[in-house]
Chain A
Amino acid sequence: MKRMFSAPAFASTEAAEAGSAAAPALSPHVALTREPPRPRRRWVQWLSANPQERVLLWCAAIVFIGVVWQVVAVAFVRSPLFFPSFTDTVAHAWQLYVSGHSIYGDFAQSMYEAGVGFGLSLTGIPLGLLIGLSRRLMIAIEPVNSAMYALPHIALVPLAIIWFGLGVTSKAFIVFISAFFLILINVSAAVATIGRELQDVAATYSASRWRTFITIILPGSVPFIFVALQLAIGRALVGVVAAELFASNKGLGYLLGVFGNNFETADLFVAIATFAAVGAILSVLFGLIGRRFEKWRIAA
């Protein structure tokens, strides 16, 4: 099949060449004498590459940082109490996570608190959609929203403990407050800024308010919702750490305090790295999902 196809193609090239000899002025080969584009360097290809290569690149970066870290710790600082080396930290992580199993309960506790608080803060999505629909409501909640958004949520920790005690609830509450208003503000603003243009389209076809909401406002808000969730993840983790640091007897934040007080710096590093890893993984996850909806963004 392939050969059958290529044979006449070959013949026609020859014919063209023969023709070009007769009439050189219009030779079709002139256009092809331009240099072919140089193949791109491998690492450039990597940067724009598929998921596996992306992961490889990330691993390379992590290894690089590990090596620099190790060199700085061993050759320059030389004080494990002040700045434990990379291998030290990995060893402690191994002990905390694999051989000792001592950190899991705390990890689970923190994730549970963050999960409950974050889950509740998702009510900010429907509420934000609702508020964004009404200009009056938008204006009415402006002061509350701005205050709650700008307030350092750590300031609420003592209050949360008075109200909800030292257990899970007070932490979940702080997480909720941290994430909820951020989601509410972003989602309601997204709705309010969805172009008049598409709503006019709906109006000229006499679409009901409900249909306009379902077909235009809701899908139009989706990219903004994912951006808000991505930001809220970071806020939620800050909330958990702050609340646990202040008063608790379990959780990664609690461990941070214990490790710090006991100058167990390598363990401290492990706890910090755990937060960093959880934050990064969730943020990348939401980012990846959000990117699928990026093309839903209505062009201005």
Chain B
Amino acid sequence: MRSTAGRSGVAEEAGPPIAADSEVVALDGVSISYAHRGKPDVEAVRDFSLRVNRGEVMSLVGPSGCGKTSLLRAIAGLRTLTSGRIEIRTAAGQAPFAVVFQQPSLLPWRTAIQNAAYGIECMTKDRKLTRSRAAGALAMVGLAGYENYYPNQLSGGMQQRVNLARALAVQPAVLLLDEPFSSLDAQLRERMQTEFLGVIEETNATALFVTHQVDEAVYLSDRVAVMSSEPGMLRSVLTVDLPKRRDARDRRGGDFMELCDAVAATLARPAGSEDLA
């Protein structure tokens, strides 16, 4: 089953599917611009094409302001496209995506489990299923026992875990994460990254992970999409040739460092040196 998440600004007719069977997300020639009053539109993202395979974690790295959030919001249907198409392949009854926002964005009047349940509530009336899925997601992010805590009783890291649990609970075709760990301190960030890898392994989830940190991108993903800025374009997609199962020790290894260097070098290339324009 297919669902077109983003709407094309130009032509509404769907046309033949662009995502192959093994692909969950397909972006074809996506451009996004912002209107500024009295000034010409600013093109934030230009002609961006990308495929995310089933069970793959794809990172999207690029300098601040290159359009990563804009792309993610477009995939999540929060922004319309100027041109191009976005397609997400879903199973019957499956939510196409769930977003883990940069800020925890929890409802302060809901407990952790009620917050985690928010997404499923919107899909089903089955209370028992809702509860069990929310509880399961909370347990997966290490918050078993904190079900009845309110956000203001939880630390920043725990709030972000609830944010993640809310998205995991709907078991979407693709998880969209926008720098979810960027507001945490370095130590906690590393721990959450490793836990995130555990969750991915457990759920076999497909994820698109936006970050501006090279080491985070390499550590978490199977492939890294590197963007250039102004306008945001895809520069290159690098494959992370590390075992799927990683832990904190791997990030001190030489292979890891080399991969980070490669990504950093791609990022640092002068404008106009796109591989896959």
A206 touching B108, Cβ below 8 Å? no
- The verdict on A296 contacting chain B, using a C-beta distance below 8 Å, is yes
CA of A198 to CA of B107 in the docked complex: distance in angstroms? 7
CA of A215 to CA of B105 in the docked complex: distance in angstroms? 14
Central interface residue in B97, B105, B123, B170, by most chain A CB within 10 Å = B105
A215 touching B78, Cβ below 8 Å? no
- The verdict on A299 contacting chain B, using a C-beta distance below 8 Å, is yes
CA of A215 to CA of B77 in the docked complex: distance in angstroms? 20
Known: A207-B122, A295-B152. A197 touches B105 (CB 8 A): yes
Chain B 91-106 near chain A by CB (<8 Å), digits 1 or 0? 0000101110101010
Q: Which A residues are CB-close (under 8 A) to B256?
A: none
- The verdict on A211 contacting chain B, using a C-beta distance below 8 Å, is yes
Central interface residue in A205, A206, A215, A295, by most chain B CB within 10 Å = A205
CA of A219 to CA of B118 in the docked complex: distance in angstroms? 14
CA of A296 to CA of B95 in the docked complex: distance in angstroms? 29
B108 touching A297, Cβ below 8 Å? yes
B78 touching A197, Cβ below 8 Å? no
- The verdict on A261 contacting chain B, using a C-beta distance below 8 Å, is no
Q: Which A residues are CB-close (under 8 A) to B108?
A: 295-299
B98 touching A219, Cβ below 8 Å? no
- The verdict on B205 contacting chain A, using a C-beta distance below 8 Å, is no
Q: Bin the interface of chain A by size.
A: 20 to 34
Which chain B residue has the least Cβ–Cβ distance from A299? B108
Known: A200-B101, A206-B122, A215-B118. A295 touches B150 (CB 8 A): yes
- The verdict on A201 contacting chain B, using a C-beta distance below 8 Å, is yes
Within 8 A of A (CB), among B96-148: 97-99, 101, 103, 105, 107-109, 118-119, 122-123
- The verdict on A13 contacting chain B, using a C-beta distance below 8 Å, is no
Q: Which of B101, B118, B119, B150 interacts with A197 by CB under 8 Å?
A: B101
Separation in Å of the A148 CB from the closest CB of chain B? 31
A204 touching B97, Cβ below 8 Å? yes
Chain A 180-203 near chain B by CB (<8 Å), digits 1 or 0? 000000000000000001101111
Separation in Å of the A125 CB from the closest CB of chain B? 17
Q: Which B residues are CB-close (under 8 A) to A203?
A: 77-78
Q: Which B residues are CB-close (under 8 A) to A297?
A: 108
Separation in Å of the A224 CB from the closest CB of chain B? 13
A216 touching B107, Cβ below 8 Å? yes
Q: Which A residues are CB-close (under 8 A) to B150?
A: 295
- The verdict on B237 contacting chain A, using a C-beta distance below 8 Å, is no
B99 touching A204, Cβ below 8 Å? yes
A219 touching B107, Cβ below 8 Å? yes
Q: Which of A200, A201, A206, A219 interacts with B109 by CB under 8 Å?
A: A219
Separation in Å of the A200 CB from the closest CB of chain B? 6
Which chain A residue has the least Cβ–Cβ distance from B102? A197
Q: Which B residues are CB-close (under 8 A) to A295?
A: 108-109, 150, 152
Q: Bin the interface of chain B by size.
A: 20 to 34
Separation in Å of the A204 CB from the closest CB of chain B? 5
CA of A197 to CA of B107 in the docked complex: distance in angstroms? 10
CA of A215 to CA of B152 in the docked complex: distance in angstroms? 18
- The verdict on B158 contacting chain A, using a C-beta distance below 8 Å, is no
B118 touching A201, Cβ below 8 Å? yes
Chain A 220-257 near chain B by CB (<8 Å), digits 1 or 0? 00100000000000000000000000000000000000
Q: Which A residues are CB-close (under 8 A) to B107?
A: 198, 215-216, 219
Separation in Å of the A128 CB from the closest CB of chain B? 19
Known: A206-B122, A207-B122, A299-B108. A201 touches B101 (CB 8 A): yes
- The verdict on B76 contacting chain A, using a C-beta distance below 8 Å, is yes
Separation in Å of the A215 CB from the closest CB of chain B? 7
Separation in Å of the B177 CB from the closest CB of chain A? 12
Q: Which of A202, A205, A216, A298 interacts with B98 by CB under 8 Å?
A: A205
Which chain B residue has the least Cβ–Cβ distance from A218? B109
A204 touching B77, Cβ below 8 Å? yes
Q: Which B residues are CB-close (under 8 A) to A216?
A: 107
Q: Which A residues are CB-close (under 8 A) to B105?
A: 197-198, 200-201
Q: Which B residues are CB-close (under 8 A) to A201?
A: 99, 101, 105, 118
CA of A33 to CA of B98 in the docked complex: distance in angstroms? 53
Which chain B residue has the least Cβ–Cβ distance from A203? B78
Separation in Å of the B121 CB from the closest CB of chain A? 8
Chain A to chain B contacts (Cβ below 8 Å), 7 pairs: A200-B78, A200-B101, A202-B122, A205-B98, A205-B170, A222-B109, A297-B108
Which residues of B are interface residues toward A (Cβ below 8 A)?
A: 76-78, 95, 97-99, 101, 103, 105, 107-109, 118-119, 122-123, 150, 152, 170
Closest 3 CB pairs of A and B: A205-B122, A205-B119, A296-B109
Known: A205-B98, A205-B119, A299-B108. 9 other contacts (CB 8 A): A197-B103, A203-B78, A204-B78, A204-B97, A204-B98, A205-B122, A215-B107, A295-B108, A297-B108
